Chains A and B, each alone.
Chain A
Amino acid sequence: MFRRSIILLVFAISIAAVGMFSLKHEVQSRKAKLDALHQDIVESQEAIRVLRAEWSFINQPAHIERLARKHLGFVPMQSHQIVRLEELKGKQLEIVKGSINEKGVR
Chain B
Amino acid sequence: MKRELGKVPERPFIKLDGVVNRFIEVAKNRMLLVCAVFSFAFVLAGLRLLDVSVIGGLGEPSVISESARATLKTGRADIVDRNGILLATSLSVPSLYADPSEVLDAEAAADALKTVLFNLDKKNILAKLKQKKRFVWLKRGLTPEQQLKINALGVPGFHFQEEDRRFYPQGRLGSHIIGFSGTDAVGLSGVEKQFDGILRDGSEPLSLSIDVRIQHILREEIQKQIESFEAIGGAGVLLDANSGEILGMVSLPDFDPAFIKGASLQAKFNTATLGVYEMGSTFKIFNTALALDLGSATMTSGYDATNPIRIARHTINDYHPKKRWLSVPEIFMYSSNIGSAKMADEFGALAQKEFMKKLGFFDQLDVELPERASPIFPARWRRINTMTISYGHGIAVSPLHLTSGVATIVNGGIRWPVTILKRHAGQQAVGKQVISSKTSLDMRRILRLVVENGTGKKASANGYLVGGKTGTAEKRAVQGGYAKKLRLSSFVGAFPIHDPKYVVLVMVDEPKGNKDSFGYATGGWVAAPAVKRIVSRSAPLLGVHPKNELSPKIRQILELNINPGGGKKRLASF
In the complex, which residues 18-58 of chain A have their Cβ closer than 8 Å to any Cβ of chain B? Answer: 34, 38-39, 41-42, 45-46, 49-50, 52-57
A-B contact pairs, 22 of them (CB 8 A): A41-B68, A41-B70, A45-B71, A45-B72, A46-B72, A49-B90, A52-B89, A53-B169, A54-B169, A56-B87, A56-B169, A57-B170, A60-B171, A60-B216, A61-B173, A61-B212, A61-B216, A62-B220, A65-B216, A79-B464, A79-B540, A82-B540
Q: How many residues of A contact B (CB 8 A)?
A: 27
Count of A-B contacts with CB under 8 A?
79
CB distance from B88 to the nearest CB of A (A): 9
Query: Does chain A have a CB within 8 A of B545?
Result: yes
Q: With A46-B72, A80-B462 in contact, do A53 and B545 touch (Cβ < 8 Å)?
A: no
In the complex, which residues 65-116 of chain B have their Cβ closer than 8 Å to any Cβ of chain A? Answer: 66, 68-72, 74, 85-87, 89-92
Query: Does chain A have a CB within 8 A of B159?
Result: no
Residue among A45, A52, A79 facing the most chain B CB atoms (10 A cut-off): A79
B89 near A53 with CB under 8 A, answer yes
In the complex, which residues 433-475 of chain B have their Cβ closer than 8 Å to any Cβ of chain A? Answer: 461-464
Query: Does chain A have a CB within 8 A of B536?
Result: yes
CB distance from B548 to the nearest CB of A (A): 10
B91 near A79 with CB under 8 A, answer no
Assembly CA distance A38 to B70 (angstroms)? 6
Assembly CA distance A78 to B462 (angstroms)? 9
CB distance from A19 to the nearest CB of B (A): 14
B68 near A79 with CB under 8 A, answer no
B170 near A49 with CB under 8 A, answer no
B86 near A60 with CB under 8 A, answer no
Query: Does chain A have a CB within 8 A of B555?
Result: no
Query: Does chain A have a CB within 8 A of B418?
Result: no
A53 near B167 with CB under 8 A, answer yes
Cβ-closest chain A residue relative to B540: A77
Question: For residue A65, which residues in chain B have a CB less than 8 angstroms away from its CB?
Answer: 216
Mark each residue of chain B from 196 to 233: 1 if its CB lies under 8 Å from any CB of chain A, else 0.
00000000000000001101110010000000000000
Query: Does chain A have a CB within 8 A of B358?
Result: no
Assembly CA distance A59 to B87 (angstroms)? 11
Mark each residue of chain B from 34 to 77: 1 if its CB lies under 8 Å from any CB of chain A, else 0.
00000000000000000000000000000000101111101000
Question: For residue B546, which residues in chain A have a CB less than 8 angstroms away from its CB?
Answer: 79-80, 82
Query: Does chain A have a CB within 8 A of B290?
Result: no
CB distance from A61 to the nearest CB of B (A): 4
13 more contacts with CB within 8 A, not counting A61-B212, A61-B215, A82-B540, are: A38-B68, A39-B70, A41-B68, A41-B71, A52-B89, A55-B169, A57-B171, A60-B171, A79-B539, A79-B540, A79-B546, A82-B545, A84-B545
